[in-house]
Structure 1
Amino acid sequence: MLKEEIDSLAPGRDFNRRGFVQTAVGSGFAAAVLPVTAQTLVTDTTGLEAGTVTIPVGDFKMPAYRAQPAGGKNLPVILVASEIFGVHEHIADVCRRLAKQGYLAIAPELFVRHGDAGAYTDIPKLISEVVSKASDAQVHGDLDATVAWAAANGGDTARLGITGFCWGGRASWSYAAHNSKLAAAVAWYGPVARNYFAGDQTVIERAARIKAPVLALYGAADSGIPVETLTRLEAALKAAGNTKCEFVVYPDTPHAFHADYRPSYRKAAAEDGWARCLAWFKKHGV
């Protein structure tokens, strides 16, 4: 069980009219996160092409949520890796926010082979039955297929970035170790000293293979990701010659501080992190 996820979903705020269970990729919210909070942000689709697409991964058809400027061509590409709850409304909204900035943003359903992450209400069960079955090898292959799809559908994958949250933050780190052509990554509060899939290396253990610049955004009060583990990762990266990564740790800030639909949301840290995220991608040519 991930204590930081349990803590970040503590009750205490109101339902709002968008508090419904996800029925399709990028629609609704995962059952485990209901009720959503009144501050939930909603980005419209004006000027965008947005919705579900299907990505071939060998013989498998993987659903994904994609948003991009309408009619755009040769667009920079940002992969969006979800939390443990899959591609629900918040992750789709992140894609739309990025599309409003000129990106082809795409969030593949990386758990779909193993079950419907959005349907679970019990987080430990969700992790044991779905999340823990998604190996890094599978995730990297799915992300590679997503990059190939983007290249064939209006994306300029020479300008490729990835960002992700919690589980997806860790996936952003691991994909940076996997894909040497990645231009930049932004990892939001992803664990670096432990795994979800048995047998995978931790981010710290694969630090020497991370060559891309990674912006790391974390909360000092995250109960499941000790700041000490970030210090160890930063040291391992520098020892391997990667001095391009930057760590930002917000004081008195919990896990999932960017998740505006949850009680863990911290507006100041979330807005600062988002501004840093966009600036990071621009700085590194994405």
Structure 2
Amino acid sequence: MQEITRRKFIATATLATGFALAVQPISAGVITTDAKGLVAGAVKIPVKDGEIPAYRAAPATGSNFPIVLVIQEIFGVHEHIQDITRRFAKLGYLAIAPELFVRQGDVSKLSTIDQILPIVAKVPDTQVLSDLDATVDWAVKSAKGNADKLAITGFCWGGRITWLYAAHNPKVKAGVAWYGRLVGDSTDLTPKHPIDIASALKVPVLGLYGGKDTGIPLDTVNQMRDRLKSGKSKSQIIVYPDAPHAFFADYRPSYREKEAKEGWKRLLAWFKKYGV
């Protein structure tokens, strides 16, 4: 009975509308991308134990689209993450942002980070990687995606996952990790962190970090750089010296327009370089 209830919960969960409550007020400089010429909106992704909601955006016409997985911050798949998928779709990509915390709770309706963190802490890496595999399968079978042109990008929590998924799925052509945590304790839920997979990584990942990020010390970024040098993935890390954490998040006070725009250009060039 418990499993049936869980499946029903997953199947009926919905995506957030608007921005996460935990990051109010919203900045006046928020970027808004319309859906003109796109197919955009909520979809259901079949996973091992039911369904999870996701937001996808793609050109309204055509097929065989390159795929970009867009991985959320701790605040869930709210309007900012949805807007990023539309930005990719305007450039010809099929972009999908799956809601990866849905089994543990709905973070979009929580008003403080202190409420969100206990939910995020319960999310197993194995669950996330499996859900992303299922999302790729759905993209190819149900949304006209090209399995041979797969990329991933993620922000904050999603930045860490970007590194891990690039190590998990060798079919990924390129990844871009925005200020994702690199080191941490090994636990049952989080057995490995980016620094643990760096030397064995085969997929080229571009890391974009802020020099004034108080949550990700520069010494850990330098450790990651050293580990990457011992591998063969051609991965790189760029540090913007004056940027804080979440410098790409245009809806938050942490947004830095210059670094965000430059980082976005680097992302697109990185994807193009590796055939996505």
TM-score, scaled relative to structure 2: 0.92
Is 1:150 aligned with 2:175?
Answer: no
Q: 5 Å matches for 1:85-96?
A: 85-96=75-86
> Is the 2:159–2:179 contact (alpha carbons within 8 Å) kept by the matching residues of 1?
yes
- Report how far residue 25 of structure 1 moved: 1.8
Aligned partners of 2:186 and 2:70: how far apart in 1? 18
Structure 2 partner of 1:212: 203
Assess, with a 3 A threshold, how the Cα gap between structure 1 residues 24 and 58 changes in structure 2: closer, same or farther.
closer
> Is the 1:26–1:52 contact (alpha carbons within 8 Å) kept by the matching residues of 2?
no
Structure 2 partner of 1:101: 91
- Report how far residue 24 of structure 1 moved: 4.8
- Report how far residue 199 of structure 1 moved: 4.2
State the identity %: 54
| Cα distance per residue 1:90-147 (max 9 Å; x no partner) | 000000000001000000000001000111112122111x101111101000000000
Aligned partners of 1:199 and 1:162: how far apart in 2? 20
> Is the 1:162–1:184 contact (alpha carbons within 8 Å) kept by the matching residues of 2?
yes
Is 1:285 aligned with 2:275?
Answer: yes
| Cα distance per residue 1:154-190 (max 9 Å; x no partner) | 0002100000000000000010110011100000000
| Cα distance per residue 1:196-234 (max 9 Å; x no partner) | 965421210122332111111010000011111111111
Is 1:80 aligned with 2:70?
Answer: yes
> Is the 1:87–1:109 contact (alpha carbons within 8 Å) kept by the matching residues of 2?
yes
Aligned partners of 2:237 and 2:16: how far apart in 1? 29
Q: What amino acid is aligned across from residue 205 of structure 2 in structure 1?
A: V
> Which secondary structure does the structure 2 equivalent of 1:164 belong to?
strand
Q: What amino acid is aligned across from residue 258 of structure 1 in structure 2?
A: F
Residue of 50, 75, 82 corresponding to 1:60: 50
> Which secondary structure does the structure 1 equivalent of 2:194 belong to?
coil
Q: Which runs of 4+ in 1 moved over 3 A?
A: 195-199
Residue of 91, 101, 119 corresponding to 2:109: 119
> Which secondary structure does the structure 2 equivalent of 1:228 belong to?
helix
- Report how far residue 72 of structure 1 moved: 2.4
> Which secondary structure does the structure 2 equivalent of 1:209 belong to?
coil
Is 1:232 aligned with 2:223?
Answer: yes
Aligned partners of 2:269 and 2:163: how far apart in 1? 18
Instruction: Give the length in aligned residue pairs.
Output: 262
> Is the 1:78–1:163 contact (alpha carbons within 8 Å) kept by the matching residues of 2?
yes
Aligned partners of 2:23 and 2:199: how far apart in 1? 36
- Report how far residue 33 of structure 1 moved: 0.9
Residue of 109, 118, 128 corresponding to 1:139: 128
Q: What amino acid is aligned across from residue 142 of structure 1 in structure 2?
A: D
Aligned partners of 1:270 and 1:35: how far apart in 2? 20
> Which secondary structure does the structure 2 equivalent of 1:96 belong to?
helix
Residue of 194, 203, 225 corresponding to 1:203: 194
Unaligned runs of 5+ in 1: 1-22
Assess, with a 3 A threshold, how the Cα gap between structure 1 residues 93 and 199 changes in structure 2: closer, same or farther.
closer
Aligned partners of 1:65 and 1:120: how far apart in 2? 20
Aligned partners of 2:190 and 2:130: how far apart in 1? 17
CA-atom RMSD, angstroms? 1.5
- Report how far residue 59 of structure 1 moved: 3.4
Q: What amino acid is aligned across from residue 204 of structure 1 in structure 2?
A: I
Aligned partners of 2:216 and 2:125: how far apart in 1? 20
> Is the 2:200–2:232 contact (alpha carbons within 8 Å) kept by the matching residues of 1?
no
> Is the 2:16–2:108 contact (alpha carbons within 8 Å) kept by the matching residues of 1?
no
Structure 1 partner of 2:242: 252
> Is the 1:108–1:146 contact (alpha carbons within 8 Å) kept by the matching residues of 2?
yes
> Which secondary structure does the structure 1 equivalent of 2:121 belong to?
helix
> Which secondary structure does the structure 1 equivalent of 2:219 belong to?
helix
Q: What amino acid is aligned across from residue 41 of structure 1 in structure 2?
A: I
Structure 1 partner of 2:232: 241
> Which secondary structure does the structure 2 equivalent of 1:208 belong to?
coil
Structure 2 partner of 1:48: 38
